[in-house]
Amino acid sequence: MKHIPHFINNKPIFSQGDKIFESVNPATQEVWAQIAHGGKTEVDLAVGAARKAFDEGPWPKMTAKERAKILYKLADLVEKNIDELAQTDTMDMGKPIMQSRSKDIPRTVDNFRFFADYIKLSENESFPMSDHYHIYTRYDPVGVTAAISPWNFPMMLASWKVAPALAFGNTVVLKPAEQTPVSCYRMAELAAESGVPEGVFNIVHGFGPQDVGEYLTTHPDIDLVTFTGESNTGRAIMKAASPTLKGLSFELGGKGANIIFEDADLDEAVDWSIKAIFTNAGQVCLAGSRLYVQKDIYKEFLNRFHIKTEQMVVGDPMDQKTEIGPLSSEEHYKKVVGYLDLKEEEGFTILCGGKGKGWWVKPTILTGVKNNMRVCREEIFGPIVGIQSFDTEKDAVQLANDTNYGLNAMLFTENVRRAHRVAAQLRAGTVWVNCFFIRDLRAPFGGFGDSGIGREGGKYSKEFFTEPKAVVMQI
């Protein structure tokens, strides 16, 4: 059994009193790791280390080239250990090993390499003035960042926060999701091995309210909070952080609309729609869980979509052929199947799928759904999709925008004018046309409404993780 400590000042630290919590393998429902459970003492130690490293250490003072060299090395070490890290994420949260191995860990590598490249190419501005003055800008690191990452893509989403924070010269205290902490701890070890100085990247394990998460977000020496997770948790963090006016960046929940127009390439639309809702057993904030199909092709699309759904391989996540693994925890399993139990109350039909053995939920299609039902309004975060028909383009846009969320949307059409026209009307931070889950770190990422505040990626990460400073000089 693994024993996972905190990581503070580049050293493993166990909690006072050896307090722990357990990580359970969702596939076997067996405890496979014991995790140090931090408290205020450990948070104070980690934040203090990060504060000292920022105020007195070399990291913020390094050139972009110097920091980039270390981040490249970190990326190389993650890549070198890809098999170990992929297996760790699969054991922690149950996702198929093929996804961990071919998608998640390589994306972690890409995140570090991208921001290592970006900081070397990032430009400052200069503004010539009359009367013998000019102004130039500096982009200085903000300070100590609290990064709180989710459990559905453990290492990848943590690196989305850690990579830009470090690249721009900040120091970091990371709280990984309590369900999936192991790979993040390993990432911190590799960061130290790559040359990241003491105190620059720290990890404290624990839970949220009245625990590590709250201690971090209210700590007076934390300057920034970046969080990915559930919308109500984001509201709680915003309230907790408000007295000290910390910088906040939230990527929260989603209820993505997926619109299939009558002129769509049906084979392409079906394949992408399968990926959009069933990847990672639907435990994706970007999941296309609301499927809208134009009436003339509704029956044909549904038939093809149903056949493909039934063909998906549900099973052991360590099997290379598995496409759908278990849900991440017993608590989450109960939440997801609770929506299926609304069948009689809300009046929808379960066309296929439903409950499996253990913590598995089979890929599930719901018909007879309406936008006012809970299954259409709330983020289920499981392999469950509701499908409806629509008449006109105007109807599709109205249905898609009828939500409190606005993280992403998809549309499938062969009409270029329609694609541009509809994309412009959809209230979503990302709109995919004839594709899904394609991400470029130069582009903004974030959402409207209950899906968050702020944007990440490229210059948008630069805006969050730096303080622009105007320097006015007489010449």
Is 376 part of the annotated catalytic residue set?
no
Helix residue ranges per DSSP H, 242-321: 266-278, 295-310
Active-site position among 42, 178, 214, 251: 251
Query: Is residue 390 helix, strand or coil?
Result: strand
Phi, psi of 211 (to 5 degrees): -150, -155
Catalytic residue selected from 285, 323, 379, 456:
285
Q: Are 220 and 50 in contact (CB under 8 A)?
A: no
CB atoms within 10 A of CB 440: 9
How many Cβ atoms sit within 10 Å of the Cβ of residue 27?
21
Alpha helices of 57-195 — where are they, by DSSP H?
64-80, 82-93, 97-99, 105-121, 154-167, 182-194
| C-alpha–C-alpha distance, residues 268 and 431, integer Å | 17
Q: Is-contact 115 465, C-beta < 8 A?
A: no
The set of catalytic residues is 251, 285
